[in-house]
Chains A and B, each alone.
Chain A
Amino acid sequence: MAYIPIADQTDEMHDPHSFITKYVWSQDHKVIAIQYGGIAIAVGLIALGLSVLMRLQLGYPEDFAFIDPADYYQFVTMHGMIMVVYLLTALFLGGFGNYLIPLQIGARDMVFPFMNMLSVWVYLLSVIILLASFFVSGGPTGAGWTLYPPQSITGGTPGADMGIVLMLASLAVFIVAFTMGGLNYVTTVLQARTRGMTLMRMPLSVWGIFVATVLGLFAFPALFVAAIMMTFDNLLGTSFFLPAMVSLGETLDHSGGSPVLFQHLFWFFGHPEVYIVALPAFGLVSDVLSCHARKNIFGYRMMVWAIIAIGGLSFIVWAHHMYVSGMNPYFGFFFAFTTLIIAVPTAIKVYNWVLTLWEGNIRLTVPMLFACGFIFTFIHGGLTGIFLGNVTVDLPLSDTYFVIAHFHMVMGVSPVLVLYAALYHWFPKMSGRMFNVTLGKIHFWATFFGTYAIYLPMHYLGIMGLPRRYYAMGTTEFLPDSAQALNANITLAAIWVALFQMVFIVNIIWSTFKGKKADPNPWEATSLEWFTPDNPPKHGNWGHELPTVYRWAYEYSVPGVKADFVPQNMAPEDVVMEDPNAKYVGHDG
């Protein structure tokens, strides 16, 4: 280690000077965060494009001859995998985790800067391997993002020759990258907090990212195990997952394997993965809501406990993804029970967000709009989750558009709205410049209404029985023609939403170079990252002396205090009171 991250540094700072060490092989957590974010957003745009292609096919099944069924399944698979793993996981933990953890806990950097740098480059490698599968013979895998065997590695499935191999390799490499990053985040939170920064004074963003990282460290091995075993089945002829079967008229050499074993392994990773994405979102949105409502977060301790409880519970609900695979009814009962229990801590969080807004002094800034939008979409997606958590309701709905609507609301739109809230909120810190507010508001309203126009109708289509995973619906007795008309409208809404995301891209690029210089603390927030000596913060973050923390990060609108916020690092004697004779005691006084 070049320096101990929590110590004051009295000698001169050694900023890297050359372009290469500053921006390419950088060990600065902020540069690494932006590298993570840039790669994730770039690959996310590809996934966005794929979703538009899928929607074109679904909305106008006759009109797009260049999309054949194999293409369609490849689009679906790559869209799902990229969005869940390579965009959301990487952007929340690699991006915001890297940027915010050291700044919000008052550290100079991550505790292992070299390993941190390695993490982002290995992540880039995994993305390259993934994208390479577009260019191999047979194209990328079209097995669906769950990659269920036997179909994912047997003939007839698109990409069964090279596509699936590259997908599994890319996932394994991603897991290595994540583990390097994750060990860093956990150790940094535990070991590099500055003076006075107790665990329960950490902003909820750090709590969410911290617990999500722990989940990731323990959940990704399941995917790793499944990927290794499937690679062996595919390339070396073992029979971990593959039963005896006839494929395309040929008897395969495999025998006796258990496809359901794969499903258990996959979902033992897959369900915590939902919370790996959701918990950082919960944390970030709590900070944004509290700051822009000028009110302390309602029930801070409950918020922390709920994050921990949700994290723990997320490991014992996985088989609710497998109700239709068939299982012992008692298992079904157990998993339905644990699944519905998760609604309790989750509801606590939702109530606390709403109660934070109650009688707040709400400033409807762009990040606040996105954060409020999140509350809507998350409640919406969460409620349909209660439907699907019950075995008997899940069985008829499982293979319909209802499920698509549910998980896109709860873990597609909701975390993405938080990502936007967070990107707009911290953009002035990352770039030192302000974004264009008008463009930001246009972006919000177009996205918010647009996504509702996409997913709300899907619930009705699903209840009507419209099956998911179909390349084209054709004609059925139970679906009226109006269903297809609705489908076409959804496609138009999807194109609309996709186009308006470009407003964001343009806004960010333009503002990074031409935006108005931002105030160091434009939102009048309390947490440490807004009080760095430079804006944007330089290498080492804090100059010579680390900040000292005196209180939690939610000291807004304290009675008797002149300003409506008290920074975490302001000494009690420096707080200016309205009445010069009064003594500052905080909320309790």
Chain B
Amino acid sequence: MSLFKSIFDKPWDYQGEDPSLKGKELAEGMHPKRIALRMFLAVVFVLFMLFIIAYFIRMDLDDWRPMPEPGLLWVNTGMLVICSIFMQWTRGAAQKNMSQQVKWGMLAAGIFTLAFIFGQLSAWEELNNAGFYLSSNPANSFFYVLTGLHGLHILGGLWVWTRSTFKVWSGIEIKAVKLSVELCAVYWHYLLLVWLVLFGLLSYT
């Protein structure tokens, strides 16, 4: 890593402008928004990792009663996978400047995301009707908190999605939203990954 290598520089040795930085401009691959998103995903990783560690610690205590997962969750997982596929497809379309595909791709991804959210809410309702209340067992509490937190992250993503989709449909040049589409796709893949980990955790414990 260049970051790691550069901390061995001897700043008092070399006098003069660093030739490697001559006329440095924002290279495409180094856009600040990309760096910020990666950093943010790292923060989200720490957040969920801490919850998962807390989950394992709490699970070891006596009163833990595993909770059955409604079959609906498999359907919801499917929805989220479809979202990711659409996002990836849209990202590719944006690279190739295909505005029709980007329009419909974004819209489809959003619709399936909303379907996922409603699916999750129905799963909550199903569990609640079956008597698995939030506070009746720590396993239930973790289920609601983790799915809720994941849902909130999705909603946060939808806010950015709304802005980008609005721009796409208002006829803006695809070049101007290419980065937003790409970042949306990365964020959606990441949340799919988080969901798969959470779903696995909730199902097998």
Residues of A within 8 A of B (CB): 4, 6-7, 111-112, 179, 183-184, 186-188, 190-192, 195-201, 217-218, 221-222, 224-225, 228-229, 232, 236-240, 253, 255-258, 261, 264-265, 268, 296, 300-301, 304-305, 308, 548-552, 554, 572, 584-588
Contacts and interface: CB of A to CB of B under 8 A. Distances in A.
Contacts of B145: 228-229, 232
A218 B135 contact: no
A583 to B, nearest CB: 11
Contacts of B149: 228
A221 B46 contact: yes
Interface in B65-83: none
B197 interface: no
B36 A258 contact: no
B129 interface: no
Contacts of A552: 11-12
20 contacts: A179-B43, A188-B32, A195-B22, A198-B21, A199-B3, A199-B6, A200-B6, A218-B42, A222-B50, A236-B135, A237-B135, A238-B135, A240-B138, A257-B138, A261-B54, A261-B58, A265-B50, A549-B17, A551-B15, A552-B12
Contact of A550 (B15, B51, B57): B15
Contacts of A217: 39, 42-43
B23 interface: yes
A572 B9 CA distance: 20
Contact of A187 (B3, B21, B39, B62): B39
Given A195-B17, A585-B15, A183 B40 contact: yes
A50 to B, nearest CB: 31
Interface of B: 3, 6-13, 15-18, 21-26, 30, 32, 35-36, 39-40, 42-43, 46-47, 50-51, 54, 57-58, 61-64, 134-135, 138, 141, 145, 149
A253 B134 CA distance: 13
Contacts of A228: 145, 149
Which of B10, B58, B62 counts the most A-chain CB atoms under 10 A from its CB?
B58
A588 B11 CA distance: 11
A308 to B, nearest CB: 7
Contact of A221 (B11, B15, B18, B50): B50
A551 B138 CA distance: 58
Nearest to B37: A183
Given A4-B26, A218-B42, A256-B61, A187 B36 contact: yes
A218 B58 contact: no
Contacts of B21: 195-198
Given A221-B50, A224-B47, A588-B12, 13 more contacts: A183-B36, A199-B3, A200-B7, A200-B10, A225-B47, A236-B135, A238-B141, A258-B57, A300-B12, A301-B9, A305-B7, A550-B17, A572-B16
A122 to B, nearest CB: 14
A111 B32 contact: yes
A218 B46 contact: yes
Contact of A191 (B9, B17, B26): B26
A296 B23 CA distance: 29
A579 B50 CA distance: 63
Contact of B50 (A187, A197, A268, A304): A268
Contacts of B36: 111-112, 183-184, 186-187
Nearest to A549: B17
A256 B62 CA distance: 7
Contact of A195 (B8, B13, B15, B24): B24
B138 A198 contact: no
A191 B39 CA distance: 13
Contacts of B40: 179, 183
Contacts of B39: 183, 186-187, 217
